[in-house]
Amino acid sequence: MRVLCCLLLWLPLLAPAQDWSTEAVFARHQDAVVQVRIIDAKGGAKRSIGSGFLISDDGQLISNFHVVSDFVNHPGEFRAEWHTDDGSNGELELLDVDVVHDLALLRGEALANRKFLAVESNLPKMGERIFSLGVPYDLGLTIVEGNYNGLLEKSLYERIHLTASINPGMSGGPAIDRFGNVIGVNVASAGDQVSFLVPSSYVIGLLTREPNEDTDLFARIGEQLIANQQRYLGDLTQAPFVSTRLGAFEVPGALARYVNCWSQTDQDNDRLVDHTELSCQSEDDVYLSDELTTGALRFEHELMQARDIGSRRFWAMMERHFAMFYGSLGGSKETMTEFYCQSDFVAANGLKSKLILCVRGYRDFTGLYDVVQRLVSVDSDTQALQSTLVLTGVDRELGLDFARRFVAAIARVRL
């Protein structure tokens, strides 16, 4: 098996850049790109589609994990196939995944000895032309031209910002630089010429890591998820919390570069309660299935002040609001346990509060949990602070330790 991973810095010096036209790039590399189809075994028709590209002479190819997730999550119910515009097709087998970076490694025996692409670890220069290939909307192999705009600054999971129209169905296809090397993998789009790539360094990591044939696929995915949360949540737990002022309270704010915060104040003149909300979250998560994502951090603080109502009515409103669960975390009874919750009253930092802490486990990934923590201040007749913290896919003790530190960082400001 030959796999081309261009790791050496001197490679560009050996071959001067070619001023390829989009037409020339397409003609040169089209045979290395295929459509990936996930087929419903009973119905015999397509369940989902994506793209993939060959990276070796023995038929190995790269796609996105989210493209083949049904094939992974429901073995026996789906099969994976490759298709080309000339009508050729064949079955695919799954070799490995990097679920954190949304990558899958597959192989099609009938794809052996076809043209394949080299994978480059070095990133282009800002503004350099990039060519993305894939099969959008099942319309046939397509190429789009765009520009490299660097790595996303506010991203928990490294992504390349590409100015180009990557559309559904192109996920898993290659993004090629002016040397003809793969520098990224199509993964997502925000529309309006804003698209994202998985840097090819993670493809190289997937191709070069030691295979663990003694561990089944779900166990390997679980290990990847555990290592991922230890990386980012461990760092956050060790670092001092970044706080911000919200009315008469000090609350956790933008805790890391990948945590983005937004604020909104209710401007309705007929409002009964003055309401200001500060919402913060990591910009990314890890896709597991259409109904479940993980590896995210989010929290919100809501400052509420009675305006035209008495304290009794105000606290009736607060109780109803506090009882509402914070959003849907997805999953089902087959994938997640029920939430186990505990409540208590706490007094710290000049603040008396009611605290509810809820935890649920992942059935397929031992040692992973979702943590939801809600706090409401109860030491004023007409004012309340409500804070909600959500951690998905974390180690139980690490998540609970972070939740404790989060509460400890909330304080009433002494005037």
Domains of the chain: 5-211 (2.40.10.120), 223-412 (3.40.1000)
Q: Count CA within 13 A, CB hemisphere, residue 182.
A: 33
Are 86 and 48 contacting, i.e. CB atoms less than 8 angstroms apart? Answer: no
Residue 101 corresponds to which tokens in the numbers above? Answer: 């970076």
Angle ∠(327,332,335) on CA atoms, nearest 5: 120
Q: Would you place residue 2 in the very low, low, confident or very high pLDDT band (cuts 50, 70, 90)?
A: low
> Residue 183's closest CA among 200, 166, 163, 168?
200
Radius of gyration of the chain (CA): 25
Residue identified by tokens 């209710």 is 266
Q: Is the pLDDT of residue 327 over 70?
A: no
pLDDT at res. 415: 60
Q: Residue 233: helix, strand or coil by DSSP?
A: helix
Average of per-residue pLDDT across 58-84: 95
Q: Would you place residue 389 in the very low, low, confident or very high pLDDT band (cuts 50, 70, 90)?
A: very high
**Residue 403 — φ and ψ, nearest 5°?**
-60, -40
Q: What one-character-per-residue DSSP string does 255-319 give?
A: -STTEEEEEEE---TT-SEEEEEEEEEES--EEEETTEEES-EEEEEEEEEESSS-HHHHHHHHH
Q: Is the pLDDT of residue 199 over 80?
A: yes
Are 67 and 53 contacting, i.e. CB atoms less than 8 angstroms apart? Answer: no
| Mean predicted lDDT score pLDDT of the chain | 89
The total number of residues written for the chain in this structure:
415
pLDDT at res. 62: 98
